[in-house]
Structures are given as C-alpha cells and as structure tokens.
Structure 1
C-alpha cells in the first residue's frame, strides 16, 4: 500500500502529466517502488522510484534509475528494442527522496506469472529474447561499467572495470558479513585476465532479463516487451546470456543462442567469460540477501542453491 506521504509526493511529481485518476502499487519488484498511474485522459503509465541514500544498497546500486532512463532513451530510437517509452523523469528529489522515472504501460503477460504458458512457449520467447539481446548489444558506450553508478565502477578497459566491480562486491560482502571464498575469487580473476581482455567494446548489457522482466503475448508467448533496465552496464554481452536464466549450469539455452546468432550476435559459450559472468551474478545474488533482509522457510534452500552455483562457476574457472 502507498502511505499518504508517498502518494502526495507522487501526485506533485506527476503534475506535469495532467490529472491523475488513480495510483495502484505494483508487486514483484525487490528494489524499487513501482506504481501504475491512470491519468484522467485515459493514458496508463508506470511510475518508478528507488531509494537514493539507503544503507541497504550495495555499492553498485547508487542512482540506478538514472541508468533506467538512459536505456529507455536509447530504446526509443531503436525499434528492435521493445521497451516502454520514457514519459517523464524527475531527478531533482524535490518531491520524493529518490529519483523518479515514468514510462508507458506495456500490454501483455509477465512471463513468470503463467507457468504453463511460460513452459509451453519458452522456445519462441527465448528466440525472441536472443534477437532482442543482439540488438541491445550493438549499442556501445564511451566507457565500461555502470553509467550512473560510482566513478570507481567505470573504466577504459573491461579487465580494469570488471575487477573493480568484483572487488566492490567483496567489500559489500565484508560489510554485511557474508562468508565468501575471497582468495579463490581473486585467483579466478587473475587467472583469466586474458579472457576479460577479449572484451574490447563496451556493449550495452541489460543485466536483468529474467522472466519477471519480460512481457509476452497471452496466447502465443511471443516477446512483447522488456522492462527494468536499471542494472544495465557497459561491458561483456555474455552477462545477459547468464542473467536471463539465473542458477542455470552449462551452456545457455539453445533457442536463446539461435535467436542471438540469427540477429548477428557472436558468442563463444566455451569461453571462460561465461563462468566469470556467472561468478559475478552469483556474488550479487548471495550478498544482497543480507541487506534485503530476505527471510522465510525457503531461505536456507535458496542460499544452498546460490552457494552451489557460485562453487560451480569457480570450479570451471579453477
């Protein structure tokens, strides 16, 4: 539920769009607060705000909504990227304690909400997703790293930047007292500097293409939209092939690879970069459990899954 203070602040921030008929909180997100906005003129939008200065944020999570706005602007000029239209941004923090991004509403069904549809149409959705990824990765930045994040997570080489990104997570882990095989992780980074150096162009990486961020046609299962690019960075496109299917071991889905290659994407699933990307995502997912205060009966099993996944990635890198 929206508390009165947040509702009032949102109404002030949304005033440039016209009269607001209704605000409805949306579920499913674990980082930002998303609200469906119904305007009096019939338009339906999504407003999203996130904490600006929160001690529960990991180092890389600063100012992430500014990255979301950037990616939506890029997608607005590329018809191969089915993302919402950016409607309004407010980075002043005059009304809300954090940034605000307002985007158009996407029709369709979230891919994780109808398991039967998701399972039956996975090959089609994954081919579509592979094609979309290839289009996304054609966009190139001026530097590697998080475009709106801390300065120390940007650099002129992927070796330098990826190493800084991993070290920042290890610092977060120490802060939150999350036990990790730190020396083994650093050894893997050192051992595979050559593989990291293969990444010579900072491709645009969405970094969070799991089914909860994908919309599909309610009957065919075809991909209709992609949301939530706030964690995007400029770097190794291999990461998207990992992050779309967390906890998977082995090569990415064959239909995903087929769609990616059909759209001109080039990938070598035998490269150590695949395991390096898995290691990085496993670290994020394992560390964020503490600041997010995850709890419940399923938590021990989830932690065991994450630790097994991290160990499998490190075993490949060993």
Structure 2
C-alpha cells in the first residue's frame, strides 16, 4: 500500500473549480514534485492535502482518511512548509525551531522546549539540534527570528518543519528565496530525508531542480493533472510547450558517473505570455498577482 493516497480530489472555492479529480499514490521515502505554471493549483493541492481547504474526494495516509484523524495526529504525521515566510514573533531561532515539537507535547514550552523534563524532552532536544545543524543555522540559534535575512528565514522555517519528524513533509516552494548554493543544500537535505524513509512532497518552479532531485512528478495546469510519473516523461518538450508555453533546451551532463538533466527555456510561444498572466492573476492558491506584474517580485 502506498503511504499517501489521493482519490478524485477536487477543490471548489467561491464558485470556481480550482482542482479537478486529482489522483495520486505517493510511496514511503519518495521525493514527489508538484510542478506547473502560476495558477496551476499546486499550492491549492498542498493545502488540501494538509486539510486546510474543503475538498471532495479522499486523502488517506496508509489507508486511513486524514479527515477522520485528530488535528494532533495529523500534525504529527504531516509537516507543512508554506509560502508565507512572515516571522513576526520576537523569539530566538532555536525557539522557532522548537515549535516543530509542539504536536507531541500538551503545553507550551518551558526553557525553550515544549513541555517539561524527561525522556520526551530529550527527544525534543535531539530533534531540534539535528534540524538546526541540517539547515546550517546552528550559529544563528540565539538570533531573533524576526531579524533574519530572507535566506536565513527560509532555512529557519525549514528547520522548524524538519523538527516535527513527520512521516510526510509538504514543502511549498522551499527554495524560492535562496541563492543557488543553499537551493542545492536544501534539495540535497530533502533527498537525504527521503533516504531515511520520510516522504517529501515539494512544489518547485525550477524545472532543473525538479529533474535532478525528484523521483516522480505531477504536472498541473489550470487545476487538472496533465501528466504524472517518471521525470523524463513529464518534462517532455511537448509538455513544456503545451503547458508552460515555452520552447526549451533539454540537455544532459555527466558528473561523477551520474547523468544530470537540465532544462533551459529559451523562447516564449507567441500567445503564451498573455495567457499565463490571465491564469496567474486569477489564482487563489499559488501566490496571486495582478496582470502585468512580475510574479517573482
């Protein structure tokens, strides 16, 4: 049995159909990528999996419907890294990461840890320390979280999610604010988590990173699944042209005995830019923006 099963999932908000009949089976230890243009429904799908949006259909974890699980049980099994990177609390980075342990404890933390002393507190300490080190922010532990730079803030938020030690980690554009070195480090870290048995579902816009690190992909467009499966099948010239509206160079580079694929968009289809702006300006799930405004701004 697959770890995460999604059957006929649809999301309708404000009279608009944002997702239509999505079906997925994601395995334990898999790094599964969600890709697609702005407004495709990637963030909407992640929020539905997290039970943050109403939906029709079924979402099950090892055969158990998530909708029937308690909020605490879901918080222990699924960890969510959202796009919203606002950190407005004047707490230390370490205390921010400690919040990831809250689903396992019955009260707020004392002395920077959830709950009180004992074996569970030791487990909390270990999870927090490992998350700080894994994200390369151990030296920032005493800094105020609301004073971090954009890249530091992104890594601190990721550390909080890693500290949960959930069965499934859902990350919505975790590398969006990072420089190339830290993009690679984060993706390598997520890949390493999968090798320990954790399942990672990640939203990505960088198709080269998706090609290099993901085991399988789901390509969404306007709320529907266009293609799902092996990376080579999903990231085809036909899909890049039909969904993204671009012509792209798809190449290969051999390094250390491994063949890495890279994707370089080089030409926009004549009618693609206008259509893409129209979709994205109406989006409610993937970070909406106004017509004519750069979505990366």
| TM-score calculated relative to the size of structure 1 | 0.25
Which structure shows the higher helix fraction?
A: 1
Larger proportion of strand: 2
Which structure is richer in relative contact order (CA contacts within 8 A, separation 6 or more)? 2
TM-score norm. by structure 2 comes to 0.26
